[in-house]
Structure 1
């Protein structure tokens, strides 16, 4: 089992032994510049843009945008050289120069329409250089010299690799015959350099009175004082196996050698040490075809597949781990022999260019703190101690997130999964004391007063812990709850000048011991408003994470001088809430999720940043105060000409807006702008304040629907509508007049009809009145006759009574009765009377029968007599009953009509 573990550890060490602290590298693939594979040549123009010969394409990169061009004859471009504002390129039987006009590169051919190339030539221009005041275009067989107006052609008598201007001489490296120099238009062989014969020489460089010859397969030779010998360096043997393609001396006594199969070597002549950047660590491939240098003295490597920008002179170096073996680094510290790293895979050390996992430390490691040249390491499985290259387990305190030094004494406090541990004797770290009363995961801890500890929970809450001299806890208070701060997630502690500040939900607090409440800190809240994380470096330096950007801060009195760390070094690599920084002499080590970076703090006042602005609307360059179409996209390129660590972090505002927006990679994209004049302000930060660097004004045209012609059209349309409305109203008015005339005519006709109807009605009323009069007359006649009959009946009844009382006169009785019988009403007359009576009172009879269907014909006849206001005595003979019979009949009728005793029967019948 042990053998298997040792084998695994050996393999891990073997996989990552080549990792080291390297310059930062930016890789650009074909998908970035949208071109071909090989980059044959690279140069920086006086406009500070980088230019590349990329097979069939000529590339330009200004730090914001990649541009791609082709030659008119679509041939392969092999070489690039810059002179003044011209970018010279060489191709197959073609050479010329490019200039920039209106935001585009324009090509001018020099060789076209000349006879410099014979029909039988199969020439490609592999190199362009300036020697004296002339431009030289070199193929493998010819040299074309251009003086600005004419071309002179020199043919080599031998096959060459490349030409090299060295001091005042032009050296020509042949493929097999050694080195020649050009003199008076002729080529003379240098005889005492015969050792270089049969070598393909890819570079010749002069450095400190020594001339270096870089052969393709036999390493490097050095000439000094006329003596030529192999380069005395351990790197030389490696180069012989690497196939040198290109080499160049740069600033700070560094030599850059690009190879065909082992990437690039950076050799430091001051220390005789080297670093190898290749595919195993950061490059996209190992074949280096060309080397260029920018004005920051950083490198641009043309690869067999892609481009690499290597910041060899940057104050920032990076420890990469592309293998994934290291994992995410949560803490890093330097040792006398190298580096010590705590990661989620365990504890790793890097010593003597060897990188390995320390046995027995697998698992999550959180923090490394240096105490008296010893390293205390918080780990999931306990606390480890690293001393003189040996790691031992100090105790079983799990999850030591952070360690803070007390400002009261020499003790150290450790925040762990289960609370707080105090190491009160730095010389004997085996002694420790657990703080009782708070057994919960604590992320941060601090102390600036005796017998008082501040602790931040790993999730939420800030605690003030008081204890006595025997380390017995007396009080534990949740201060955020006590101060009624509801959002107390992720509290962070920061010690500044013997004062502890608390960062809670992006707001800074200090503790008022009198009111026992947290109070907002005015100084920090005014200077650091959007801080999401903060890490102390030393008494006057700290690191903040604000708006996604890292700043190093130098506290000078009550002023804070800040310096931004470019986002490209850590974009997407910061471990949230686990940002740690370790001071290493003049360098500072910052952990990342795939390694760490080493940076230097320099707060010198930076010189004013010179920037230029190029704005494009619809892919066309526009000048300031130009008018662009409404609702079109405006792409603003903010160009500083700086690609490396000195590249400024810039911000912009629109139309005096207060919000400062970070410019990402120099590109500003503006959409949906309001019409009218707009002003774009570019600002930089000098450490203390934001300064305006440049402005750019542009005009957004009005929408098409507010253009002059559209407004004119609107007026025409409105005028037409008003005219049509007028015409329509006129027509309507005429129609109304006609309609009114017709209406008057119609009303007249109606009036005539109404008058006629009214006359007819009057006539009918008159006739009705006549009829009513006739009816009344007949009614009176009937009543008269009725009354006459009644009187007659009454008379007859009286006579008959008299006769009945005279018993002696029998015969007289008989005669009188006969007369009475003769004078009695006959049946026909009575029927006529009743018929007339019913005709007159027909409506009354109908209404009465409808309301009281139980009434008999005799009842109705009685009702008619009563309605005629006849008395019972008058009614009795008419219905041939006695007076008593009429009264009885009236009584029964009242019951059928449901009348009360007080109601008059005659009045009731008159109301129907």
Structure 2
């Protein structure tokens, strides 16, 4: 019970919150963050240069559709009013008026009153309105009117306080604050008769329309003067206007009236049927205080607000239904019904009838699709399928998730894609008779059929299937075509029927199915004309919409030609529900679903007119004329200005130096960076849906780098000349140095020669001394050899004595013989000492080398080595070492061990090699 009460409360709360919505003209808002100005837009006009001008307190604002400019008066006073007259923009402020003109892409101001005694310092005149009458410019304050004939300023002081002046039927009417309406004449001012109802009423606008004069008062509503009689305007809107406080009013095209109020926004009244629309902060305006109204050459409205600017496309074929409350949610499908619209959203099913939006009871949840068949609306919902007819909603099926409904191309049946398969409606006179294709339990999103018992189905996630079934609606075969054809990326497949042919959009490529080869094949026609398409919606055989590179295009097919009309991004930017784009045809309009509502579009199948565009190029903030030069590595910003702000704004493209790559111009700006030096031509093209047409071009030259300029080349030449001169001087100096060096070299060579000669002489002397030494050495050697012989002789003597001792027995004779032998063979002790000394001297190098190599050798070992090196035998060595022959052999044996010689190695040969 408690849950039921909460549910009833929730429905009641929603019904209270659903205030009236309506289909409104598209509004483009500009805030202070856009134009960087002040609050309060007092006046709006369009100049002869197609730019929009705004009086914005301390600034004159200029907007050309691409960029904003703001300018201040020399005396920094508030600008209350502006007027366009030719190339001049007249402005009025506190005790000051003059005109602006544009030169070199900047606004320049000329004061008319400077240096003239125009104003009475006691009146504090402020110019609130400027108008042209009888060829003269009138500047109006609340106390005076100043007339400027181009040379002279004439002041007309008024005896009362006025609100504004108005030119009506070539008459100048003056609306006073308390005294009614007066007319300006050559003789003075005269009160208008029959308008007493306007006394003590502040009139903010006087407009003539269809032979009637309308008086718009601030707080008392609207009065109409007709057949010489003034009466209260008999319109249901009048009572609302009394509470809203009228600020401005103006009749516009198509018998419409726009009224700007102080606290209720703007009312747009259609005088043909009496209907009106209120544009305010609750729907599309930034605030409810409208201070001024202007129109551009396309008859679109510009509202000057207390805080911001609104561009209202009242003559656009595009209208918008917008829900700012969030109650509606994202609209997945929309259809027109009598007196309103039916919408399938993620919050449920809503209807909008007689300006009232309401949720249809018991439909909360995700609704997907609305299809109209005759006078019935089939609505696919998360919880089943509903039918809406004659204002009543009933449930048709409990099968969850009716994504899409498609008519079969072979009969009058309809195919419905659901969460769990395919449903067929054969008889729409009896919708309860449904048939379910057996054996299919996949979530199917898109369907198409052009052959009996064959259905093409795209899975909600991935895959394209060819489903064959029998007459009993039982599945015979499910062919995963994308898998079989080895298409790897088959996510989000779209099925599109065009002129009895089924096309498949898979991963941005278009395919058709070849029944002969049973393969998917690329479709050349569509792949050539529609690259990078992410979504497509069929309207009829000759019209469809594509989402290409993030932009929507309406395609009109004429014969084999595709006429491509872009839908400006501002109408849907950031509001498209990806993968769920749907279009409903409503007579001549098309309803396109968006995140928070929908837009209504009226497409005209006509070739677009060739636009007239202007180019303003800027380099480092300075205007660049055609065929001018810019610096290398600097940015060139090219503003491409069409002077059109609404739906007719052309699609513009550009190429550089004739390369046929048409690049889109986004937001009217071309930015060129990092250009090489040389000549460039930027050509601007418009697209009429069939072809690119040249509109204008801009030529410029990127200058050479500063290091290639004429002056730098002169500097380079001077530098090169200086380098060559220095090189010449350096070579000359080097040549002189070379000569001096050669002279010094000759001198040194002479000294060297003398030194070499001296050295040779000294060397010869040394060689001589060496020779003498060698002779002495040879002499010593001979001496040693002699000593050796002497020693050998002594040995022989000893041997002889030994023989005598062995043979002689007579003692006396023995003594005599021994003495005789000793005397004969006696050796001088001094001679032996000399022998050993000479022997050591001769072999000094050998002894040193041997001692270093074998430090464990004794002097006796070294002596033996010397004797062996002299190639003496053991027998000869024995007496010299005063040992026996056997002792020499034993010593030799020990020496071999110390030297580490093998048995087969010769000791004498080894010592010779040391």
TM-score tier, shorter chain, comes to over 0.9
Q: Distance in 2 between matches of 1:890 and 1:764?
A: 40
Partner in structure 1 of residue 244 of structure 2: 242
Shift in alpha-carbon separation, 1:836–1:241, aligned structure 2, 3 A: closer
Deviation at 1:260, TM superposition (A): 1.7
CA contact (8 A) 2:617 2:638 kept: yes
State how far apart, in whole Å, the 2-side matches of 1:204 and 1:399 are: 58
Instruction: Output one character per residue of 1:620-660: Cα deviation in whole Å (capped at 9) or x when no partner.
Output: 33321122333333332222121111111212222334433
Deviation at 1:550, TM superposition (A): 1.3
Indicate the residue corresponding to 1:342 in structure 2.
344
TM-score by length of 2: 0.93
Take 2:891 and 2:126, find their aligned partners in 1: how far apart are those partners? Answer: 150
Matching residue of 1:709: 711
Query: Matches of 2:83 and 2:125 in 1, distance apart?
Result: 18
- Aligned-partner Cα distance in 1 for 2:147–2:109: 19
**Could you say if the C-alpha distance between residues 860 and 68 of structure 1 is closer, same or farther in structure 2, counting changes exceeding 3 Å?**
closer
How big is each residue's C-alpha offset from its partner over 1:418-463, in whole Å with a ceiling of 9 and x where there is no partner? 3443334333444444445553433333222222222333333322
Match of 1:17 among 16, 19, 33: 19
Residue of structure 2 in register with 1:648 after alignment: 650
Per the alignment, residue 307 of structure 1 pairs with 309
Give the Å deviation of 1:682.
1.1
Residue pair 1:372, 1:426 contacting (<8 A) in 2 also: no
CA contact (8 A) 1:9 1:356 kept: no
Q: Does 1:821 align with 2:825?
A: no
Tell me how many residue pairs correspond in the alignment: 911
Change (3 A) 1:372 1:791: same
| Aligned counterpart, 2:465 | 463
Shift of 1:519: 1.5
Residues 784 and 570 (structure 1), Cα distance of their counterparts in 2 relative to 1, 3 Å cut:
same
Partner of 2:803: 801
Change (3 A) 1:817 1:625: same
The counterpart of 1:691, out of the listed 690, 693, 710, is: 693
CA distance in 2, matches of 1:73, 1:575: 52
Residue 736 of structure 1, CA deviation: 4.7
1:385 to 2:390 alignment: no
Q: Does the alignment pair 1:117 with 2:119?
A: yes
Find the residue that maps to 2:194 and give its secondary structure: helix
Measured against aligned partners, the alpha-carbon deviations of 1:366-385 in whole angstroms (never above 9, x if no partner) come to 22222333222233333333
Distance of 1:56 and 1:833 partners within structure 2:
132
Mean CA deviation greater in 174-183 or 266-275: 174-183
1:701-740 equivalent positions in 2, closer than 5 A: 701-739=703-741
Displacement of 1:104: 2.3
How well do the aligned residues superpose, as a CA RMSD in angstroms? 2.9
Quote how far apart the aligned CAs of 1:116 are. 4.5
Where does residue 601 of structure 1 map in the other structure? Answer: 603
**Equivalences for residues 442-457 of structure 1 within 5 A:** 442-457=444-459
CA contact (8 A) 1:372 1:427 kept: no
Q: Does residue 400 of structure 1 match 2:408? A: no
In structure 2, do the counterparts of structure 1 residues 788 and 92 end up closer, same or farther at CA, with 3 Å as the change threshold? closer
Please report how far the alpha carbon of residue 696 of structure 1 lies from its aligned counterpart in structure 2 after TM superposition: 0.9
**Alpha-carbon displacement from aligned partner over 1:879-898 (angstroms, at most 9, x marks no partner):** 56666766676666666666
Distance 1:863 1:94 in 2: 134
Q: CA–CA distance in 2 between the matches of 1:657 and 1:541?
A: 32
User: Is this contact kept in 1: 2:804–2:818, CA < 8 A?
Assistant: no
Question: Structure 1, residues 499-549: CA drift from partner, whole Å, max 9, x if none?
Answer: 121222222221222222221111011111222222111111111122332
Q: Specify which of 83, 87, 105 is matched with residue 85 of structure 1.
A: 87
In the TM superposition, what are the counterparts of 1:423-442 in structure 2 within 5 Å?
A: 423-442=425-444
* Aligned-partner Cα distance in 2 for 1:583–1:889: 134
Q: How does 1:639-788 map to 2 (within 5 A)?
A: 639-739=641-741, 741-742=743-744, 745-746=747-748, 749-750=751-752, 752-788=754-790
User: Is contact 2:790-2:827 (8 Å) kept?
Assistant: no
Normalization by structure 1: what TM-score? 0.93
CA contact (8 A) 1:453 1:464 kept: yes
Please state whether the residue corresponding to 1:448 is helix, strand or coil: strand
Q: Verify the 8 A CA contact 2:334 2:591 in the aligned structure 1.
A: yes
Q: Which moved more, 1:354-363 or 1:481-490?
A: 481-490
Q: Deviations over 1:208-235 (max 9, x none)?
A: 2222222222222223323333222211
**Structure 2 CA distance, aligned partners of 1:869 and 1:44?**
133
Cross-structure match for 1:560: 562
**Change in CA separation of 1:3 and 1:163 when aligned onto 2, cut-off 3 Å:** farther
- Measured at CA, do residues 760 and 25 of structure 1 come closer, stay the same or move farther in structure 2, by a change above 3 Å? same
Give the distance between the partners of 1:204 and 1:882, measured in 2 at CA: 163
What is the CA–CA distance in structure 2 between the aligned matches of 1:618 and 1:850, rounded to whole Å? 90
Aligned residue for 1:812?
813
How far apart, CA to CA, are the structure 2 residues paired with 1:852 and 1:66?
106
Q: Check whether the contact 1:13–1:354 (CA below 8 A) recurs between aligned residues.
A: no
Q: How does 1:16-415 map to 2 (within 5 A)?
A: 16-415=18-417
Deviations 1:131-153 (CA, angstroms, capped at 9, x unpaired): 33333333333333333343444
Task: Provide the rounded CA distance (Å) in 2 between the counterparts of 1:893 and 1:291.
Answer: 133
Aligned partner of residue 26 in structure 2, secondary structure: strand
Cα distance, 1:561 vs structure 2:
0.3
In structure 2, distance between residues paired with 1:837 and 1:737: 61
Deviation of 1:732 (Å): 4.2
Return the offset for 1:348.
1.6
Deviates more, 1:19-28 or 1:237-246: 237-246
For structure 2, the residue ranges without an aligned partner over 5 or more in a row are: none
Q: Deviations over 1:771-800 (max 9, x none)?
A: 222222222233234324434643664576
Residue 749 to residue 428, structure 1, CA distance change in 2 (3 Å): farther
CA shift in 2, pair 1:789/1:98, >3 Å: closer
CA separation of 1:904 and 1:149: change in aligned 2, threshold 3 A: closer
Tell whether the 8 Å contact from 1:800 to 1:817 is kept in structure 2 after alignment: no
Cα separation, 2, equivalents of 1:586 and 1:752:
122
Does the 8 Å contact 1:635/1:669 carry over to 2?
Answer: yes
In 2, the alpha carbon distance for the partners of 1:750 and 1:909 equals 44
Shift of 1:852: 5.5
Say if 1:190 and 1:868 are closer, same or farther in 2 by CA, change over 3 A.
closer
1:517-536 → structure 2 map (5 Å cutoff):
517-536=519-538
Structure 1, residues 329-388: CA drift from partner, whole Å, max 9, x if none?
222111123111122222221111001222222233222222333222233333333333
Q: Which moved more, 1:591-600 or 1:473-482?
A: 473-482
8 A Cα contact 2:794 2:826, kept in partner = no
